[in-house]
Amino acid sequence: MNRRYRKTIIAGNWKMNKTLTETKAFAEEFKPILGRPKWCDIVLCVPAVNLHSAIRMFKDSRVSIGAETCHYEENGAFTGEVSAQMLKDIGVKYVIIGHSERRQYYNETDFTVNKKVISALNAGLRPIVCVGESLEQRELGVTMDLITYQVKCALANIPIEKVRHVVFAYEPIWAIGTGKTATAEEAQEVCEGIRTVIRKLYGARVARAVTIQYGGSMNAKNAAELLAQPDIDGGLIGGASLKPDQFMQIINAANQD
Ligand code: PGA
169 Cα nearest atom in ligand 1: 9
**Model confidence pLDDT, tens digit, residues 138-191:** 999 999 999 999 999 999 999 999 999 999 999 999 999 888 888 999 999 999
Length of the chain equals 257
Nearest-CA residue for atom 2 of ligand 1: 238
Phi, psi values for residue 80, rounded to 5°: 90, -5
CA of 226 to the centre of ligand 1 (A): 15
Is 71 a residue of the active site?
A: no
CB 64 within 8 A of CB 93: yes
96 Cα nearest atom in ligand 1: 9
Closest CA to 103 of 152, 150, 148: 150
* 20 band by pLDDT with thresholds 50, 70 and 90: very high
**Model confidence pLDDT, tens digit, residues 79-132:** 999 999 999 999 999 999 999 999 999 999 999 999 999 999 999 999 999 999
Indicate the pairing of strand 94-97 with strand 126-131: parallel
Catalytic residue among 99, 101, 108, 133: 99
CA of 49 to the centre of ligand 1 (A): 20
Closest CA to 102 of 173, 31, 34, 52: 173
Q: Which of 237, 246, 247, 250 to mutate to test the pocket of ligand 1 (most atoms within 8 A of CB)?
A: 237
